[in-house]
Amino acid sequence: MTLVDRFLKYVSFDTQSDESTGLTPSTSKQMIFAEYLKDELESLGLEDITLDEHGYLFATLPANTDKKVPTIGFIAHMDTSPDMTGKDVTPRIVEKYDGSDIILCAEENIVLSPEQFPELLDHKGEDLIVTNGKTLLGADDKAGIAEIVSAMVYLKNHPQIKHGKIRIGFNPDEEIGEGAHKFDVEKFGCEWAYTMDGGEVGELEFENFNAAAAKIIFKGRNVHPGYAKNKMINSIRVANKFIAMLPSQEVPEQTSGYEGFYHLIGIQGEVEQTTVTYIIRDHNREKFEDRKKEMKRTVEQINAEYGEGIATLELRDQYYNMREKIEPVMHIIDVAFAAMEAVGVKPNVKPIRGGTDGAQLSFKGLPCPNIFAGGLNFHGRYEFVPIRNMERAMSVIVKIAELVASK
């Protein structure tokens, strides 16, 4: 089975996660995919294959050298984003993309156009895998899984490439921020690892957002509108005022690079009660803490104006910037950097404007930077992946294994 065949098979599984269930994995369909992967890894001759009740699948490619070589790992997640359905994914290969609009769904006039997505033109002449315009594709992160499995097959079939013991891990629920929660780092048994979960070719990331989630519940008082003067408290209006009190420019659509934000992700309400949900993000830990304080201060201001208990805040940290855990072991970045250069990929070290399982794993004792998997426009119908991107990611995995053994 080729890398592309493997990827096309993987995206046929619906593995959307769901943060509302409170389970691990959050959806049973992820376990169906995990069972398929377990069978595949067994058929490929990998060893020490385990799949636990929470959907964490580990396997080993044994060392083929007598040298003492650090055990390293490669990790990818099985779930796809709740943002859009991953059911009945119908991928299509656009051969030798010519730079024009790609019609994804003629009936609904859904078009993947370089006018909206100029990154398409970086892949002119290449073969692209696209959606049918009705689902996401699932390259995030089934491209990463396909690349890791294919790299293990390649190393197994090319014993002249010497490598140490390699562990691979596939986990559920990354898209809902819980992919590393039950990841058994001790059982995985690596000195360090890499998540294959980035975007464009060359991305190498060891900085990510500090992240928190906030839920604010606004209590109202409903009175007949004809007799409501000085009596009614409309929780929807109170929530709207709260939203307007936060910095209007510090939102995802107006920030980039190292700039943090408050992201309003949900609002649901009636006069009696309105619930507003946010995610809070910043690379700088001090600024991150300041953002949480600002959220608390704004809630207090609402309560001072409307009455104590009108607004209640639930605030929880999700993950932290892995940089502080990677900097003491920067040789693992150097290895990835050298591997990319060796296979003709220009490294692009950049901060992740998001999170990664690697961040949480780094704080659990497994340093785990992130490497590109090659997909673009994640989490929606315009997602696509150039086949060449996946091939290059696979080559980087192979080269990392080789370089670690050679050093």
Name the residue with tokens 């901060």: 351
pLDDT digits (tens, 9 = 90+) for 61-100: 999 999 999 999 999 999 999 999 999 999 999 999 999 9
Retrieve residue 100's tokens. Answer: 């024009």
CA distance 181 to 29: 19
| Catalytic-role residue among 14, 79, 140, 178 | 79
Which domain CATH number covers 129?
A: 3.40.630.10
The pLDDT of residue 198 is 82
The verdict on 155 and 26 lying in the same domain is yes
Q: Is 72 helix (H, G, I), strand (E, B) or coil?
A: strand
Retrieve residue 144's tokens. Answer: 């990463």
E strand residue ranges, 178-322: 192-198, 203-205, 210-219, 261-269, 273-282, 311-319
Q: Of 319, 348, 375, which marks where a domain is finished?
A: 319
Total domains present in the chain? 2
Give start and end residues of each alpha helix (H) in 166-234: 185-188
Per the annotation, the verdict on 174 as an active-site residue is yes
The verdict on 203 and 259 lying in the same domain is no
The verdict on 56 and 192 lying in the same domain is yes
CB burial of residue 164 (10 Å; 0-12, 13-18, 19+): buried
The pLDDT of residue 377 is 95
The verdict on 332 and 314 lying in the same domain is no
Q: Of 298, 319, 340, which marks where a domain is finished?
A: 319
The verdict on 282 and 386 lying in the same domain is no
The pLDDT of residue 192 is 98
The verdict on 227 and 243 lying in the same domain is yes
Per the annotation, the verdict on 18 as an active-site residue is no
pLDDT digits (tens, 9 = 90+) for 223-247: 999 999 999 999 999 999 999 999 9
CA distance 35 to 26: 15
The verdict on 227 and 172 lying in the same domain is no
What domain range is 99 assigned to? 3-207+321-406
pLDDT digits (tens, 9 = 90+) for 252-311: 999 999 999 999 999 999 999 999 999 999 999 999 999 999 999 999 999 999 999 999
The verdict on 298 and 230 lying in the same domain is yes
Which domain CATH number covers 220?
A: 3.30.70.360
| Catalytic-role residue among 14, 140, 141, 174 | 174
The verdict on 241 and 365 lying in the same domain is no
The pLDDT of residue 319 is 87
Retrieve residue 117's tokens. Answer: 């997505």
Stated length of the chain: 407
Q: How confident is the model at residue 355 (pLDDT cuts 50, 70, 90)?
A: confident
The verdict on 200 and 219 lying in the same domain is no
The verdict on 101 and 248 lying in the same domain is no
Q: How confident is the model at residue 209 (pLDDT cuts 50, 70, 90)?
A: very high
Q: Residue 346: is its pLDDT beyond 90?
A: yes
CA distance 28 to 24: 9
φ, ψ at 227 (rounded to 5°): -130, 30
pLDDT digits (tens, 9 = 90+) for 135-180: 999 999 999 999 999 999 999 999 999 999 999 999 999 999 899 9
Q: Of 319, 353, 375, which marks where a domain is finished?
A: 319
Q: pTM, whole model, 2 decimals?
A: 0.88
Q: How confident is the model at residue 356 (pLDDT cuts 50, 70, 90)?
A: confident
The verdict on 159 and 171 lying in the same domain is yes
